Amino acid sequence: MVALYAVGTLTFLGIRAFFVPHSFGQYGHYRGAAITEIAAHPIHFAGHQTCETCHADVQEMKKTGMHAQVSCEACHGPLAKHADDPSIQPAKLDTAVLCVRCHAASAARPKGFPQVAAAEHSNGLPCETCHKPHSPAISAGGAK
Amino acid sequence: MNISRRQMLILLPAAAVAWESVLAGTPESSPNYKMTDHWWSMLIDISKCIGCGNCVRACQAENDVPDGFFRTWVERYHVTDWHLENPEVISPDGGKEGFPSVTEDDNGKYFFVPKLCNHCADSPCTQVCPVGATFISPDGVVLIDQTYCLGCAYCVQACPYGCRYIHPQKKVADKCTLCYHRITKGLTTACCEACPTGARQLADLKNPKDPIHEFLRTHNVQILKPQMATGAKVFYNDLDGSVR
């Protein structure tokens, strides 16, 4: 009877070991290895700290302007591939789309946020004719 | 060797526990990141959100979110006069491409509300999963083990915030991971990185130096659906009472 009980228990443990993932229960009622698997996903946005390691000139230009707190990839999009391999050039941006996404006048936007009725404001001229995106105040000038 | 029935009943469970610990192996160590040192959350400042949709696009790019599905999205509320219980809420394509312009409305107000998984400390979604495929990690992020998920969608129904969906190709549950693959590398989330006004801020509640502590102490901050007692960890500043 004891032998049967022992064999039954060992069989149960064997089957359980086969079906239950090894890391199940490591931290709780789930597969612990899932955490490291999710953490290992690749990144697409490099982060502004990475951009600033090479583009210190742009950071310098930005820091006194209204876009000082706007991270590079907020406008330029995800650039982790460019950060890994600088020969991969980021896509050219279209300011006609980009600027109005944030600055088109709308009563839904916070009152203090700079907004313009784009068509009337520029008479069809591209925004960067007057405003340099990295430091947009007209008096600030700027090279790009 | 004679083993009594009593000894056998004591020894077998002990052997089972020992065998279990052998099978579990040693916990994987990360040299730069210690899960127990963090308790992640997010702060959303409604007064700063301009409804540009940057966060939605960034999330989709970072996490390969399929078109028509959202791990985060932005809603625009229009509340007229005293009709707090019946706001008009729109979220065209999750607010991904922004919102149509509106002119001043003397009879009401407009504002934007970004939404995402609330990474609840007592989340209903993790409680209903029949197989332990969704869980809260030791650093406070509700995650999904997509290799273990059955796709039964119990969690999708259980989430009071509508933050989960069944992935159309993988046929398993999917949702915001608070960019777990980024925050464990010392980066902020893609939505926070892309937000041009700082309306979204990743916060670590276990870090006493995190500015969120000062912010929570000095501002009128709310969570969504507090009556659900989910322990939501996405904090909203300047949230209107009409938001559900």
Distance from CA of A31 to the nearest CA of B (A): 7
The DSSP result for B89-129, as a single string, is EE-GGGGTT--------TTEEEEEEEEE----TT-HHHHH-
Q: Tell me: the pLDDT tens digits for A53-112?
A: 999 999 999 998 999 999 999 999 999 999 999 999 998 898 888 999 999 999 999 999
Residues A88 and A34 placed together within one structural domain of the fold = no
Contact A74 B147 (CB under 8 A): no
Q: Specify whether A75 is located in the same domain as A13.
A: no
User: What ipTM was assigned to the predicted interfaces of this complex?
Assistant: 0.89
Is A71 found in the same domain as A23?
no
Q: Which residues, in sequence order, are bridge partners of residue B135?
A: B143
Helix B5-24 vs helix A2-19: crossing angle, to nearest 10: 20
The predicted structure's pLDDT at residue B2? 67
What count of Cα atoms within 13 Å lies in the side-chain half-sphere of residue A69? 10
Q: How far is A36 from chain B (nearest CA, A)?
A: 8
Please indicate whether, in this complex, the C-beta atoms of A31 and B148 are within 8 angstroms of each other: yes
Contact B193 A42 (CB under 8 A): no
From the CA of B217, how many Å to the nearest CA of chain A? 23
Question: What's the number of domains chain A is made of?
Answer: 2
On whether any CB of chain A is under 8 Å from the CB of B122, the answer is no
Contact B124, A127 (CB under 8 A): no
Q: Are residues A61 and A34 in the same domain?
A: no
Chain B contact present for A119, CB below 8 A: no
Q: Which two tokens stand for residue B23?
A: 């099978």
Q: Which of residues A133 and B32 earns the better pLDDT score?
A: A133
My answer on whether A111 and A78 are in the same domain is: yes
- Answer for the pair B39, B204: CB distance below 8 angstroms, yes or no: yes
Calpha distance A131→A125 (Å, rounded): 11
**Residue A139, token pair as written in the block:** 């008096």
Shared-domain flag, residues A54 and A18: no
Q: CA-to-CA distance for B184 and A39, rounded, in angstroms?
A: 7
From the list A9, A34, A75, the residue facing B148 with the nearest CB is: A34
B60, B191 contact by CB (below 8 A): no
Q: Which residue has the higher pLDDT, B31 or A118?
A: A118
Say yes or no: A71 and A34 in one domain.
no
Question: Do A32 and A52 belong to one domain?
Answer: no
- Which residues from chain B sit within 8 angstroms of residue A69, using beta carbons? 197-198
Q: Are residues A7 and A70 in the same domain?
A: no
Domain residues for the domain of A105 are 48-140
Shared domain for A11 and A63, answered yes or no, is: no
Same domain for A23 and A90, yes or no, is no
Asked if A34 and A57 sit in the same domain, the reply is: no
